[in-house]
Chain A
Amino acid sequence: AQSVAQPEDQVNVAEGNPLTVKCTYSVSGNPYLFWYVQYPNRGLQFLLKYITGDNLVKGSYGFEAEFNKSQTSFHLKKPSALVSDSALYFCAVRDGSGGGADGLTFGKGTHLIIQP
């Protein structure tokens, strides 16, 4: 079985400050890890993914995430937050050793609020 934990329901950051949204995962095989963002009444927008290779992954809109195998974490980061980054963020995992039949398992989401 695979699971994702996003320990913070909400993260508040001042505009211009660095932000971190936390994610830890559990999967029996190789983890495929993803971050998505959701704006009100909208679908999910892809931000970035880790499949293999470098542990630091760069994605859309200046976001990046670091894969840490020993801590089973995949925290989302951005050096300087913008008010427009305010949204709901989801971390998701898939077992890459599962032969392709598994869907994504999502966390409950973290509301990111950037204060002007």
Chain B
Amino acid sequence: ETGVTQSPTHLIKTRGQQVTLRCSSQSGHNTVSWYQQALGQGPQFIFQYYREEENGRGNFPPRFSGLQFPNYSSELNVNALELDDSALYLCASSLGITGSNYEQYFGPGTRLTVT
């Protein structure tokens, strides 16, 4: 069974640029959630995709957007990057969205630095 994978591992972008982060969910999982973890903080929920549709969103502006593909892999897109977007971006997948199916498994993360 393959775990959650994310790419790239690290990247550096300039303020104002756009970035796309990628996530492959664990085999059999149809739900992907994205989190932002700033240095010294707990992860914060960005949004969740269930069966290719966004079905939940945290307190993040619209310049944070995403996609989920038929194979349940996912992308996180961030437009007009700001310095405060520098963080570890974590992807998590689960079997579903309710009950015991909501046990989330996390990938290793993508470290984004905005200069």
Q: Which residues of A contact B (CB under 8 A)?
A: 4, 32, 34, 36, 41-46, 49, 51, 90, 92, 94, 96, 99-109
Q: Which residues of B contact A34 (CB under 8 A)?
A: 103-104
A-B contact count (CB 8 A): 72
Contacts of A102 in B (CB 8 A): 45, 56
B103: which of A49, A100, A106 is its contact (CB, 8 Å)? Answer: A49
Nearest CB on B from A4, distance (A): 8
Number of contact residues on B: which range applies? Answer: 20 to 34
| B45 near A104: Cβ-Cβ < 8 Å | yes
Residues of A within 8 A of B44 (CB): 106
Q: Which of A51, A92, A103, A107 contacts B99 (CB 8 A)?
A: A51
CB atoms of A32 and B102 under 8 A apart: yes
In whole angstroms, how far apart are the Cα atoms of A99 and B102 in the complex?
Answer: 12
C-alpha spacing A109/B37, complex, angstroms: 11
Residues of A within 8 A of B42 (CB): 4, 90, 92, 106-109
Given contacts A43-B107, A46-B104, contact A100 B58 (CB under 8 A): no
Chain A residue numbers with a CB within 8 Å of B96 are 100
Q: Decide: A103 near B33, CB < 8 A? Known: A43-B90, A109-B42.
A: yes
Which residues of chain A are within 8 angstroms of B41 by Cβ–Cβ distance?
A: 108-109
What CA separation (Å) do A92 and B106 show in the bound complex?
A: 13
Note all chain A residues with C-beta closer than 8 A to B33: 103-104
Residues of B within 8 A of A42 (CB): 108-109
- Asked if B50 is at the interface (CB within 8 A of a chain A CB), the reply is yes
Is B100's CB under 8 angstroms from A51's CB?
yes
The CA-CA distance from A101 to B102 in the complex, in Å, is 11
* Cα–Cα distance between A103 and B96 once the two chains are bound (Å): 12
Q: Are B102 and A94 in contact (CB under 8 A)?
A: yes
Report the minimum CB–CB distance from A58 to chain B (whole Å): 15
**What are 21 pairs between A and B in contact, CB < 8 Å?**
A32-B102, A34-B103, A43-B4, A43-B90, A46-B104, A46-B106, A49-B100, A49-B103, A90-B42, A90-B43, A94-B102, A100-B56, A101-B48, A101-B56, A103-B33, A103-B45, A103-B46, A103-B56, A103-B58, A106-B42, A108-B42
